[in-house]
Amino acid sequence: MKKQRTKGIVLVVVCFICVMCICSGFHKAQSEELSEIPDAVNSTRFNTTEHLTVVANQEEIADKEELAKQIIKMCRENSFQSIKFSYDMVYPTELQISVYKTEKDLNDNKQFCEIAYLLDEENGEYDIIHNPEKFILYVDGEKVE
């Protein structure tokens, strides 16, 4: 009787361990799928210049300029999943963004591109939210039309 009880406990423990292994493997497989939605993972503001680190969550990116436009739009709409900007008092007047394709690239310091969203005139009193027409988008130092 005691031997059967011990076998039952061992069987339950083994089944529990198997279920945990399967679940952790399933979670890992799910987390490795890329959402293809860019996300800001770091933000620093100096005066009114916002410095961002963005992970594109894409292995392959066909069009840097379209990605840059999407990221700028997300900044203006404050729609990143991981970071919400505090636009209640001061709006950014400049964006400097380092983009990485994946989290692995970020960890390996393999930058994909650099985005800048800058005023088209000196000393303008404009911000990215209310005056987007006053800004010029640059990708890797090249002006985007």
Say if residues 76 and 97 touch (Cβ distance below 8 Å): no
7 vs 55 pLDDT, higher one: 55
Say if residues 78 and 84 touch (Cβ distance below 8 Å): yes
- Rounded to 5°, the CA angle 30-85-119 comes to 115
State pLDDT tens for residues 117-141: 999 877 678 999 999 999 999 999 9
Count H helices and E strands in the chain, helices first: 3, 6
State pLDDT tens for residues 48-73: 899 999 999 999 999 999 999 999 99
Q: What is the pTM of this model?
A: 0.75
Diameter over CA atoms, the chain: 88
